[in-house]
Structure 1
Amino acid sequence: MDFLKSAVASAIAKGSSFPYSLGDRVDISDSIWTLHNATKREDGSPCSIFTFDVASNKSRLPLAKNAVRKSRTLRHPGVIKVLDTIETDANIYIVTERVVPLSWHVKRRSLSEETSKWGLYTVASTLKFINGDASSVHGIVRASSVFTSESGEWKLGGFDVLSSMSDENAVIYTYGSLVPDAARFTPPEVVKGGWDTIKRNPLTAIDSYGLGILVYEVFNGNFTGADQVGKTTNIPHNMHQSYKRLCTANPKLRLSPAHFVDQGKKNGGFFETPLIRLTDDIESLGLKNDAERDEFVNELDGLSEDFPEEFFKMKVLPELLKSVEFGGGGPKVLGAILKIGSKLSQEEFNLRLTPVVVRLFGNPDRALRVCLLDNLPVMIDNLPQKIVNDKIYPQMISGFTDAAPVVREQTVKAILPIINKLSDRVINGELLKFLARTANDEQPGIRTNTTICLGRIAKNLGQGSRTKVLIAAFTRSLRDPFVHARNAGLLALGATLEFFSEEDCASKVLPAICPSLLDKEKMIRDQANKTLDLYLQRVRKFGSTMADTVTPASASADPVKDAARIGTSNDKSWAGWAISSFTNKITAANGEIQPTANGAKPAEVEPVRPASVPQPVRSVSATQKDILRPAAPSLNRSFSERPPAAPKEEEEEEEEEEEDEIEDVYDAWGGMDDDDDDTQDKEEDPFSAAVTSPTVSAPAPKPAAVPYDDGGEPDFAGWLTAQSKVKKPLPKGLNKSSPAAAVSRTSSRNSTTVKPRTVIAPAKKIDTRPKEEEDDGWGDAWD
């Protein structure tokens, strides 16, 4: 090796441009050649170089020259492919495809039975060509003359004594005995009569004997001598008879390589294996019809894992790619491609499969698209992120709007394997829009899978949109008529609990789950209870960490004794908490309750405010809605001023008031968040402009009868004084209804709150003392 490197270095130094770079030496036995791994300098492609040192092997120089000459002219798929030959005064180089000696595998016993049969079939078919079509004799068929290529195929080499029988001065006659270790592999007739006996025996006799030795070596690991010829140890049973006929001592009775192949290819023969059938059919795959192609793919799927992976990568895969892309191979061929591709390294996958996969995603064939989407989990790890985000995903999104439901469904499922290779802008923009579309799909299965998909990709969504999207999607699925869609929504809510705040859990999620507790399906009810428990635990845990109150404690000037209260916090009765709450509000107030003018119910104590700010007006009758949602001040008009209605009108008014009361309750409990309705009511109410925050307005100069405007605050004292100077009202039902009263009744019926109007009072000082001797009817409003 050192001499070789020095020779090459000297040749380069002298100006000769050796186009290859020699690498490691490969151990090869029983050969006149030295084998090296090498690379081509021009493109860095791998190759092998057989080197013959002329100075140290001058006696075998004719064998080397014969090998160079035959390797240039002999072309066959089972023969080593020769790329170049270089002859110098010091060395002879044969540059071939990258190969490895078969003897490596034979010595390690690393060949499976199927692979061994496949290789022997290749060698026997090559010898059939050499003996028949080329009318030649190989002469040294053995394991050291066979090599495996990068595709795992067995290639025949060792053409040192390859001779044509039409040549009278063939090298084999003269130099056959110069082959290393020739005595161990020489047929018995040659040992007795020399190489000239070839002329007196069948042309195939020499190579048939060598083929028999090769069969023994492949299945037993080593061949030591003639005493092992014909032994059937470890050789497949169905091959015994043919093998013995290859090794028989009588050359005229030996089975030729061609007959050996024919016997093996018979129905049930030893060469009738899936791998051999695959080898025979792969070259013509593009010419097969649909039925033949399906049969081939089924055969391919039946192959076991111990077959040579290199052969599938180098030979089968390219042919399958041609078939699926140009020959109409269809989804079955694509499935076989992806199965083989799963065994490729990432570099090999990107080199061989990625460009084809990108092109296939643009194919309009729906069956092919579904197959691609279904196999995305198998190949996604080998696809670069940029390719997925920029090339594959833009072609995938057409599946969201495809007319075929199976395409839409597979597109939704395919989001899960590729989600980690999509950019945040794509996920939170275009993808969510398409998922919103499939969430409303007419197919219940697609809606269900969309809910599952959202739950699985929740962690990939942006924080700004995640909560809104998930709550909207999952709560919507809880109302889906398809039972599995509802179940998926509950499961998704349970799986994404961590992404919701406690406020969202309490105000949005829990109210949406509760109806499912009474679902008609027991499966939904059970899952709803489980999901509800998860959210309740979280809300309760958070609630235990909150402060007892946010209201600051107010110091009371005169502490009130507990004995004087109607109810206490220790009261354990059903209504105890309500009474206690009510008395707490009363007893916590400072000062005394002031009596009303005519002995009516006391008014609520108002908070301390500046003297310049007018007092807010309370509604005459406080309904439940007034308590839950503060209402605007009522019109400054007593119910006693309303003219009495006819009996039928009274009944209609009572019914309308009852309906209004029901609507008020519904608004309080069912429409508390309906802010838009409140806004609309304000826009439609002609009195809405009058219920703004009370402000002190300047006295209007005109008309003269209005010397003072109290800013909208009702002047009950002035009203009482005015009532004392007028005549007592007529009995109910006799008063004429005025337009103002009609407006008052209409507004009280149609509006949830009665709007006040400003009362015009005289400017003179008013006596606020009530006149007890007259019944003014004002107290009727409390009845």
Structure 2
Amino acid sequence: MDFLKSAVASAIAKGTGQPFSLGDRVDIGDSVWALHNGTKRDDGSACSVFSFDINANKSRLPLAKNAVRKFRTLRHPGVIKVLDTIERLTFWQTETNLYIVTERIVPLSWPVKRRSLNEETAKWGLYTVASTLKFINEDASSVHGAVRASSVFTSESGEWKLGGFEILSSMKEDDAIIYTYGSIMPDAARFTPPEVVKGGWDTIKRHPLAAVDAYGLGILIFEVFNGNFAGGDQVGKTTNIPPSMQQSYKRLCTANPKLRLSPGHFVEQGKKHGGFFQTPLIRMTEDIDSLGLKTDAEREEFVNELDELSEDFPEDFFKMKVLPELLKSVEFGGGGPKVLSATLKIGSKLSADEFNAKLTPVVVRLFGNPDRALRVCLLDNLPSMIDNLPQKVVNDKIFPQMTSGFTDVAPVVREQTVKAVLTIINKLNDRIVNGELLKFLARTANDEQPGIRTNTTICLGRIAKNLGQSTRSKVLIAAFTRALRDPFAHARVAGLLALSATIDVFTEDDCAAKILPAICPSLLDKEKLIRDQANKTLDLYVQRVRKHANTMTDTVIPPTAPTEAKPDVRVATPNESSWAGWAISSFTNKVAAANGEIEPTANGSKPSDPETARSASVPRPAKSSPSTQLDLPKQVLRPTAQPLNRSMSDRPAPPVHSPEPEEDGDDVFDAWGAMDDDEGDEDPFTAAVSSPKPTSPAPSSTAAPKVPYDDGGEPDFAGWLAAKNQTKAKNPLPKGLTKAASTNTVATRSSAASTTKPRTVVAPKKIDTKPKNEEIDDDWGDAWD
């Protein structure tokens, strides 16, 4: 039968006429009420429902009706907030159930039995209950009469709320319910004061009004710190009671009601300087409601106390009570960045749904605030918020407002904005990352502040995987190689580290052609830190390039058919004894051809080279006939003069060092650079290999060997001077000497033609004396003209 009545009551409560729907039943022990979790139908918010079955508990119906009446009339922050009270009637118009709809609450007996309350939270809750009893006793002139753990509940904000108003009575009423029904309260014998046990509830008229509630407050203190209250013999024991509270606690539990400390005096003693109610949590609770009216100094003091709170304080209180007040202070009361930091610290403990409902709209509005201090604070705390921010909100609302930070005048704003990119990069879509974001990072990469340039390089290295494949390699190579040339040492280190971290992003061709040449100058950096890192980075890229090279084919040239005629060209192969064997062979072939053309002389005159000129004094194996020697100057001297000079110029001569080449010979790198940079100049190596072919000597009709005239071993000093003058004629500056030399040559040839004696061919001796004449000095002037 009881089951049927309960089912009918539940069905009635779930009917369409009720403003709530009942949920699970909550265990509150021995009570006249049944507590259910409920949901309001109008907005879907959570609530709690006290349900009383009239037919099942008719003897306690006056207690239930008294509780309904007191909940309607008694309003205080420490009292359970009542949303609605309902008396439900059946279709027979008879009373069946009473309902009290309140805010969502949880019995305090749950954490008390588990002993899960820390000391600071327990003091904070006891302070709330004692302050509420003070209001009931002094302001309402009433007696609660049933103060115990089962009469206290905790709200969603973690605050302690006082309930259990079944025998709450005003002492101004002669027929107060406490006198008649106080003894039928559940488990009354265990919690009744000793004077009531002896003389009944009427005795409270002869004692102080707050004596009964003071005794119940003492029992509640014992329950909170010990977990359970067995009976009257435990009253007044100080087991687990904080030392600072023990003396006041004993006065609450004294057997003489006239000596008991009232709840109001208990609060006053705890609030004294150094008292047991002087805690950061209690001070914050009192100040939070007036935060918007405080001065800057008072607000800063409040935030400092908020930061000092430990992590074991009730999180629900911060979410439900502190957070809304902080948001109001930040957005409208000028709370500043310090209040914002405390707000976001609390917001990090919210769920995603709670965060989006309470914090996201405020955060979006604050990003548009021109206050730089607030913007920097938001950017600093962005890591704690980003997981709760939807991607659409970040792309459409937050990032567009962040972009002004990349170009802000204040360097700290630009730097924090660059750092914040790492936080929001996973929330941005590809269009923003590869478009707007890269444009802004290109600006900060060239920022005047070296720290911002360094952080931009680090940022690019860490977001490389988020960049598009079409732009990733090009952007990163340009950014990192630029960083390697940065005058700031840490920026160069950042570039090397970024290259090491993103080695997998680049192709092997980019590694070999673009990155390795850019790293090499850092090997000789003035900073040892950079040199060391450059060696590490270089090794990574060299190993990758070598590994890829081992997988490549030996050649891409297709094999030729075996029947084709192959030109006789010397090609380098791996079997060559030297890496440049083909070049050396080609060069020696040309030199050998030149030597073969120069060695046969057409007349008896000595070559202009000093060594060949002096070879006339060396004994020769055979001598030609005099007739042959006399005929040589006439027949061969003039036609073979020009080919002889050209062949001698082609033949390698002993090096003649002039002063200017000696000065330039020290700088080897400049010489290689000149060869590479001057495109119009002829490559000296090419010029040496491909020299002009000398004119072949005229064929001789006689077969006699052409041997120079033997002067009997006498040193040919005039020939040596002629060769020396001819060597000096190669200097481009003294043009007059070239002109004089050509004149002397003509004179020598004419004198040789006018005589038939062999000894008269001494033209070099005449040339030696002419440069000393004054006529040659005039020729110098003519040559410069």
**TM-score bracket for the superposition, by shorter chain length:** 0.7 to 0.9
How far, CA to CA, are the matches of 1:455 and 1:565 in structure 2? 50
Residue 67 of structure 1 aligns with which residue? Answer: 67
TM-score normalised to structure 1 length: 0.74
Residue 344 of structure 1 aligns with which residue? Answer: 350
Residue 333 of structure 1 aligns with which residue? Answer: 339
Residue 538 of structure 2 aligns with which residue? Answer: 532
Structure 1 residues 585, 498: closer, same or farther in 2, change over 3 A? farther
How far, CA to CA, are the matches of 1:497 and 1:12 in structure 2? 66
Structure 1 residues 167, 511: closer, same or farther in 2, change over 3 A? same
Structure 1 residues 585, 126: closer, same or farther in 2, change over 3 A? farther
Report deviation, 1:196: 1.0
State whether residues 568 and 580 of structure 1, in contact with CA within 8 Å, keep that contact through their aligned partners in structure 2.
no
Match of 1:433 among 416, 435, 439: 439
> Tell me, which stretches of 5 or more residues in structure 2 are unaligned?
89-94, 599-644, 646-659, 681-691, 693-785
Match of 2:244 among 238, 242, 246: 238
Residue 217 of structure 1 aligns with which residue? Answer: 223
Residue 87 of structure 1 aligns with which residue? Answer: 87
Report deviation, 1:669: 3.9
Structure 1 residues 227, 12: closer, same or farther in 2, change over 3 A? closer
State whether residues 215 and 253 of structure 2, in contact with CA within 8 Å, keep that contact through their aligned partners in structure 1.
yes
How far, CA to CA, are the matches of 2:544 and 2:113 in structure 1? 67
Report deviation, 1:583: 4.2
Residue 551 of structure 1 aligns with which residue? Answer: 557
Residue 580 of structure 2 aligns with which residue? Answer: 578
Residue 521 of structure 1 aligns with which residue? Answer: 527
Matched, 1:44 2:44: yes
State whether residues 566 and 583 of structure 1, in contact with CA within 8 Å, keep that contact through their aligned partners in structure 2.
no
Which residue type is aligned with residue 21 of structure 1? Answer: S
Structure 1 residues 567, 67: closer, same or farther in 2, change over 3 A? closer
Which residue type is aligned with residue 17 of structure 1? Answer: G
Report deviation, 1:128: 0.6
How far, CA to CA, are the matches of 2:380 and 2:417 in structure 1? 9
Match of 1:509 among 515, 518, 527: 515
Match of 2:269 among 263, 272, 284: 263
How far, CA to CA, are the matches of 1:568 and 1:81 in structure 2? 97
User: Following superposition of structure 1 onto structure 2, how do residues 20-419 of structure 1 map, counting pairs within 5 Å?
Assistant: 20-88=20-88, 89-419=95-425
Which residue type is aligned with residue 142 of structure 1? Answer: R
Structure 1 residues 66, 668: closer, same or farther in 2, change over 3 A? farther
State whether residues 271 and 278 of structure 2, in contact with CA within 8 Å, keep that contact through their aligned partners in structure 1.
yes
Post-superposition Cα deviations, 1:378-403, rounded to whole Å, max 9, x if no partner, equal 11111111111111000000000000
Which residue type is aligned with residue 237 of structure 2? Answer: K
State whether residues 14 and 20 of structure 2, in contact with CA within 8 Å, keep that contact through their aligned partners in structure 1.
no
Report deviation, 1:105: 1.1
How far, CA to CA, are the matches of 2:283 and 2:130 in structure 1? 15
Report deviation, 1:670: 5.9
How far, CA to CA, are the matches of 1:7 and 1:424 in structure 2? 58
For 2:274, what is the secondary structure of its paired residue?
Answer: coil
Post-superposition Cα deviations, 1:727-780, rounded to whole Å, max 9, x if no partner, equal xxxxxxxxxxxxxxxxxxxxxxxxxxxxxxxxxxxxxxxxxxxxxxxxxxxxxx
Match of 1:9 among 1, 8, 11: 11
Matched, 1:471 2:488: no
Report deviation, 1:173: 1.1
Post-superposition Cα deviations, 1:594-617, rounded to whole Å, max 9, x if no partner, equal x99x989xxxxxxxxxxxxxxxxx
Which residue type is aligned with residue 538 of structure 2? Answer: L
How far, CA to CA, are the matches of 2:275 and 2:12 in structure 1? 56
Which residue type is aligned with residue 501 of structure 1? Answer: T
For 2:579, what is the secondary structure of its paired residue?
Answer: helix
Matched, 1:455 2:457: no
Report deviation, 1:552: 3.8
Structure 1 residues 161, 247: closer, same or farther in 2, change over 3 A? same
State whether residues 14 and 22 of structure 2, in contact with CA within 8 Å, keep that contact through their aligned partners in structure 1.
no
Which residue type is aligned with residue 43 of structure 1? Answer: D
How far, CA to CA, are the matches of 1:565 and 1:321 in structure 2? 86
Report deviation, 1:546: 1.6
Report deviation, 1:263: 0.9
State whether residues 163 and 171 of structure 1, in contact with CA within 8 Å, keep that contact through their aligned partners in structure 2.
yes
For 1:293, what is the secondary structure of its paired residue?
Answer: helix
Report deviation, 1:52: 1.1
Which residue type is aligned with residue 457 of structure 1? Answer: I
For these two proteins, the number of residue pairs brought into alignment is 620
Structure 1 residues 479, 422: closer, same or farther in 2, change over 3 A? same
Residue 711 of structure 2 aligns with which residue? Answer: none
Structure 1 residues 156, 527: closer, same or farther in 2, change over 3 A? same
Post-superposition Cα deviations, 1:520-578, rounded to whole Å, max 9, x if no partner, equal 110001001110111111111111222222234555978999xx989986565xxx322
Report deviation, 1:584: 8.2
Residue 488 of structure 1 aligns with which residue? Answer: 494
Structure 1 residues 670, 67: closer, same or farther in 2, change over 3 A? farther
How far, CA to CA, are the matches of 1:667 and 1:427 in structure 2? 45
* Greater percentage in helix: 2
For 1:56, what is the secondary structure of its paired residue?
Answer: coil
Structure 1 residues 252, 28: closer, same or farther in 2, change over 3 A? same
Structure 1 residues 11, 465: closer, same or farther in 2, change over 3 A? closer
Which residue type is aligned with residue 35 of structure 1? Answer: L
For 1:474, what is the secondary structure of its paired residue?
Answer: helix
State whether residues 25 and 34 of structure 1, in contact with CA within 8 Å, keep that contact through their aligned partners in structure 2.
yes
TM-score normalised to structure 2 length: 0.74
Post-superposition Cα deviations, 1:669-690, rounded to whole Å, max 9, x if no partner, equal 469xxxxxx9xx9xxxxxxxxx
Report deviation, 1:419: 0.3
> Tell me, which stretches of 5 or more residues in structure 1 are unaligned?
588-594, 601-639, 641-653, 672-677, 682-715, 717-783
How far, CA to CA, are the matches of 1:82 and 1:354 in structure 2? 30
How far, CA to CA, are the matches of 2:370 and 2:71 in structure 1? 48
How far, CA to CA, are the matches of 1:566 and 1:205 in structure 2? 117
Structure 1 residues 271, 566: closer, same or farther in 2, change over 3 A? closer
How far, CA to CA, are the matches of 2:298 and 2:588 in structure 1? 95
Which residue type is aligned with residue 491 of structure 1? Answer: L
State whether residues 569 and 580 of structure 1, in contact with CA within 8 Å, keep that contact through their aligned partners in structure 2.
no
Report deviation, 1:30: 3.1
For 2:35, what is the secondary structure of its paired residue?
Answer: strand
Percent of pairs identical after alignment? 75
Structure 1 residues 407, 2: closer, same or farther in 2, change over 3 A? farther
Report deviation, 1:63: 1.0
Structure 1 residues 565, 204: closer, same or farther in 2, change over 3 A? closer
Which residue type is aligned with residue 542 of structure 1? Answer: H
Structure 1 residues 569, 87: closer, same or farther in 2, change over 3 A? closer
How far, CA to CA, are the matches of 1:144 and 1:579 in structure 2? 104
Post-superposition Cα deviations, 1:130-156, rounded to whole Å, max 9, x if no partner, equal 111111111100001000001110000
State whether residues 22 and 38 of structure 1, in contact with CA within 8 Å, keep that contact through their aligned partners in structure 2.
yes
How far, CA to CA, are the matches of 2:440 and 2:430 in structure 1? 15
Report deviation, 1:208: 0.1
Report deviation, 1:274: 1.1
Matched, 1:18 2:18: yes
Q: Which has the larger radius of gyration?
A: 2
How far, CA to CA, are the matches of 1:388 and 1:249 in structure 2? 65
State whether residues 451 and 477 of structure 1, in contact with CA within 8 Å, keep that contact through their aligned partners in structure 2.
yes
For 1:118, what is the secondary structure of its paired residue?
Answer: helix
Which residue type is aligned with residue 7 of structure 1? Answer: A
